[in-house]
Chains A and B, each alone.
Chain A
């Protein structure tokens, strides 16, 4: 009654106040995100190059055609797909497992939980430095562990076959706590009654997980997916710190590819085209996931 009453009697004056309160944020974000986006989309149809800024003209779809015919572009796309796909899948599985572990009541679980969320708060550049050191060929800790098992040293960051995996492991380390936190929120909101009733019916643990926990935390799973996919696509700091896109371009994701085109080669037009393609991918993915969230709710 209370909330509904408030909606019914929300006065004109209240509505004006609310809009005024919201307006500054709305205007600032409108001016700082939507306008630049539109500008960026326009630039993506030009041949703008910072080295010769005078000679800008529209080139139609040339940049897009160039991108779709460029082997480098498709390589960047496939690197992004592997990076995002593997990272997010591992994070969801690990995140769910750890959320189940930490949702139990046990001694010290509050303390463990608080230590556990540290990586998601830490500076990504520093995480990159830390893992770069651990993966170092000559004096890194990971090769030291391998040497104890009599496995020869691996040039993790310098080998095109392994570099992407170091990036993926670092990303998993950094962001799994975020997934866990969201999923734990979902798990803790489930009423204990369901589990008690299921236990009386003689179900097994995995059955309870599959038929009670999973369906009820589904909205949270999709929400975590949404956040993680978005963040993984635009992951920048830790990759730049660990491999700088190399060796060669073995870890050059679409985001880094666009960055290098714009700020190393000064191909502003083409860089905007790549950003625009990325934006379209992000936008369609978020529409799909937001729909899934609404359906699951």
Chain B
């Protein structure tokens, strides 16, 4: 009986490692191709180990368009994250604490906004912003990114704030703090991990965005995802450079995911359980 259990445990462990291998292998392949020169990248059978070269990274980073696209992505992402956090923290707090019916209805709408398919709203955006001459502009892109990022941040923050005990707030209010003062002086500092999680998700969502960017941007405000996708064209694909570029694009996402990983999982769980 006991031996049986141990065998099952070993099999389950082996399966867990298999799962992780399936997740990691494509990524390792991406890394290895990005370090290959042109001859090695096309070798048949594929070479797993080669003498690494950084020439792909050099040629990507020296490309003007790619540089500009990275800068644009960074700019748009920072603005979107800042706005989404400011609006999302206040709205999430109000939703977590206010239990009246009208507030629930408003909250429901904020969260339902996440369900709206991008294809359903992009056409009016495109028409209106092209009339206003705001296509290929930071302003229009930030606004449209908020439609996906903000509902998610509100949802996450609501989950976190529901977990903050109300006694602390009541104590602060007895000491003469206003409701808004309590939020920013007491509740926000207590929810730093939650806010960090929301920031990472907001960052990830706007940095990774492609659909709106490919429609709304042109030469000036091209984002990194659009730039990297445009490297695949009918004249053939330079895989080494494409992989190097891809890794540069996902580097910040990888970094933030690894730094904040425990909080990320907790954040989704909180939102799911308490939302």
Contact = CB atoms under 8 A, between A and B. Distances in A.
Contact of B215 (A24, A118, A123, A263): A263
A294 to B, nearest CB: 12
Contact of B119 (A15, A133, A240, A278): A278
A259 B207 CA distance: 22
Interface string B217-256: 0000000010011001000000100110010011001101
A121 B19 CA distance: 17
A14 B119 contact: no
Interface string A260-275: 0011000010011011
Contact size class for A?
Answer: 35 or more
Contacts of A14: 98, 179
Contact of A29 (B23, B29, B100, B109): B109
Interface stretch (B49-57, B58-66, B188-196, B262-270): B262-270
A19 B41 CA distance: 58
B73 to A, nearest CB: 10
A25 B88 contact: yes
Contacts of B42: 138-139
Looking at chain A's contact residues, is the secondary structure mostly helix, strand, loop, or mixed?
helix
A173 B109 CA distance: 31
Given A30-B109, A114-B261, A130-B27, A234 B250 contact: no
A119 interface: yes
Contacts of B100: 10, 15, 18
A188 B144 CA distance: 37
B29 A133 contact: yes
A40 B268 CA distance: 32
Interface string A157-182: 00000000000000001000110011
Looking at chain B's contact residues, is the secondary structure mostly helix, strand, loop, or mixed?
helix
A19 B106 CA distance: 9
Contacts of A149: none
Contacts of A258: 119
Contacts of B232: 129, 132, 241
A122 B272 contact: no
Contacts of A131: 26
Contact of B123 (A17, A32, A130, A272): A272
Given A24-B90, A43-B123, A240-B229, A189 B273 contact: yes
Contact of B115 (A262, A276, A286): A286
A125 B109 CA distance: 30
Contacts of B151: 29
Interface stretch (A61-69, A105-113, A208-216): A105-113
B20 A116 contact: yes
Nearest to A254: B119
B185 interface: no
Contacts of B207: 123
A237 B232 CA distance: 13
Contact of B265 (A106, A113, A173): A113
B93 interface: yes
Interface string B25-46: 0110110010000000111111
A28 interface: yes
B124 interface: yes
A22 B91 contact: yes
B98 A237 contact: no
Contacts of A36: 120-121, 123-125
Contacts of B116: 33, 37, 279
A185 B268 contact: yes
A58 interface: no
A103 to B, nearest CB: 10
A34 B232 CA distance: 35
Interface string A184-219: 110011000000000000000000000000000000
Interface of A: 2-3, 6-7, 10, 13-15, 17-19, 21-22, 24-26, 28-30, 32-37, 39-40, 43, 98, 101-102, 104, 106, 109-110, 112-119, 121-126, 129-134, 138-141, 144, 147, 173, 177-178, 181-182, 184-185, 188-189, 220, 223, 230, 233-234, 236-237, 240-241, 255, 258-259, 262-263, 268, 271-272, 274-276, 278-279, 282-283, 286
30 contacts: A6-B97, A10-B99, A19-B94, A19-B102, A21-B93, A21-B183, A25-B150, A26-B110, A28-B150, A29-B109, A29-B146, A29-B151, A32-B144, A33-B121, A36-B120, A40-B124, A115-B23, A121-B204, A121-B257, A122-B208, A123-B250, A125-B228, A125-B229, A129-B246, A138-B42, A139-B46, A185-B268, A185-B269, A258-B119, A278-B120
